[in-house]
Structure 1
Amino acid sequence: MQEDKHPAYRPVVFRDRAAGYAFLTRSTATSDQEITWDDGETYPVVDVEISSESHPFYTGKARTVDSEGRIAQFERRFGSTPESGGEGRA
């Protein structure tokens, strides 16, 4: 690796404000704020809006779309399609 071409790769705390969860990892992210971690050391802290602790996909609260229900709703609203032999809108 060439000197002085890459950003500093150091321990950083990422704090999820929505879930109240923080984790320590290594990153090149920078921050003016600092936090004292459980080990007594001071690390830069980066606030994020969403992480695996609050994301619906990872928490199991993701909504699934019922495609069959959507088709039935469409047919109720607009009638069946002319290709299927039903009466549709003209």
Structure 2
Amino acid sequence: MKPEIHPNYQKVVYMDINSGFKFLSGSVKGSSETIEWEDGNTYPLIKMETTSDTHPFYTGRQKFADKGGRADRFMQKYNMKQDN
């Protein structure tokens, strides 16, 4: 590989901001925030809104139950009755 043309690949800690779940992985993305990991080393911290810990595909839980379509939600929001 040619020097000076590839991004810096390093270990980083990803943290789910909704659940607090953390995992260590490799990435070329960096961060100004750092965290001390279980092995005693300090790694860059990347905060994420959704990870496998909170995503419905992986957890099997839906965040929002069946709420109807857009028109139904609009009618309910403004207390309107739908004509048939």
Q: Same fold (TM over 0.5)?
A: yes
Q: Following superposition, which runs of at least 4 residues in structure 1 exceed 3 angstroms of deviation?
A: 62-65
Please provide the CA RMSD for this pair. Answer: 1.9
Pick the structure with more helix per residue. 1
State the structure with bigger RCO (CA 8 A, min sep 6), 1 or 2.
2
Could you give the per-residue CA deviations for residues 34-66 of structure 1, whole angstroms, max 9, x where no partner exists?
Answer: 00011110000000010010001110014797x
With structure 1 as the length reference, what TM-score do the two structures score? 0.67
Alignment match, 1:36: 36
**% identity of equivalent residues:** 40
Aligned AA (2:19):
A
Tell me the equivalent position of 1:12: 12
- The amino acid across from 2:39 in the alignment is D
Which structure 2 residue ranges, 5 or more long, are not aligned? 70-82
